[in-house]
Amino acid sequence: MAQQAIITVKDLVKHYGDFKAVNGISFEVFEGEIFGLLGPNGAGKTTTLEIIETLRQKTSGSITVDGFDIERDTDSIKQRIGVQLQAAGYYPNLNLAELIDLFSGLYGVQVSPMEMLEKVALTDKAKAKYKDLSGGQKQRFSIATTLINNPRIIFLDEPTTGLDPQARRNLWELIRQIRDGGTTVVITTHYMDEAEELCDRVAFVDGGHIIGIDTPDHFIDELVASGFERKKQVKAANLEDVFIAKTGKEWREG
């Protein structure tokens, strides 16, 4: 079955003064996939994401999101996407349920805070303040805020940075559930294991250019077919697997 593009980026360029942060990149995100922008610090991932999210102006190039043009149809795009809000917007005196109420008012939609918290397994924290959550809980709450307007696409910028192995794996599971529910997910990461585990397709970004787009399997098979061999013998498990086996899979809320 031919895959349908839900985001199309063509020849995107972003200059900050003389500095070319994004240097003519083109890619498509398919409907219903988890698409990863991978690359080192400063590669231009966040800049690209923020331009697609209509939060930042491009220098040149064209972008359509769910059939809408980024310049002409900004409001229609905003209604169809879910973006992680900066933690600074989480008013310290409000609890999680009150924050969801506040954000749904800002989006002009009506949602049940408990249903939103249920999606990210945080109903027992409905009365807690954001600052009192663990790192994994903070990320889950942040993901809940992206889902309030029932978006077609959500954008997650380095969603697992700083989380422990259990929290990372559980967050991957949550992101897969969101994809399986029909929402397209675009994430940035510089963790290659995360991309391999989670993403249906990935684009490597380096120095403002895209240097390859494919499924993780194809990239790896291609490299192996070219004669590449790992120096160290590959074991059937790694240290992270040992850690998970010894400490369990549940969320750590400490």
Ligand X SMILES: Nc1ncnc2c1ncn2[C@@H]1O[C@H](COP(=O)(O)OP(=O)(O)OP(=O)(O)O)[C@@H](O)[C@H]1O
Shortest distance (Å) from residue 253 CB to ligand X: 27
Reduced to 3 states, what is the DSSP secondary structure of residue 53?
coil
212 binds ligand X (CB under 6 A): no
Which ranges of the chain would DSSP assign to H, the alpha helix? 45-52, 74-80, 96-107, 113-119, 135-146, 165-180, 192-198, 216-225, 239-247
Count of CB atoms situated within 10 Å of the CB of 226? 7
209 binds ligand X (CB under 6 A): no
Window of 16-24, 90-98, 134-142, 233-241 that interacts with ligand X by CB under 6 A: 16-24
190 binds ligand X (CB under 6 A): yes
Shortest distance (Å) from residue 208 CB to ligand X: 7
Cα dihedral 147, 150, 151, 152 in deg (nearest 10): 120
The residue to which tokens 């510089």 are assigned: 190
Of 47 and 64, CB closest to ligand X: 47
21 binds ligand X (CB under 6 A): yes
Among 42, 105, 212, 248, binds ligand X (CB under 6 A): 42
195 binds ligand X (CB under 6 A): no
Question: Which spans of this chain sit near ligand X (rule: CB under 6 A)?
Answer: 16, 19, 21, 39, 41-47, 190
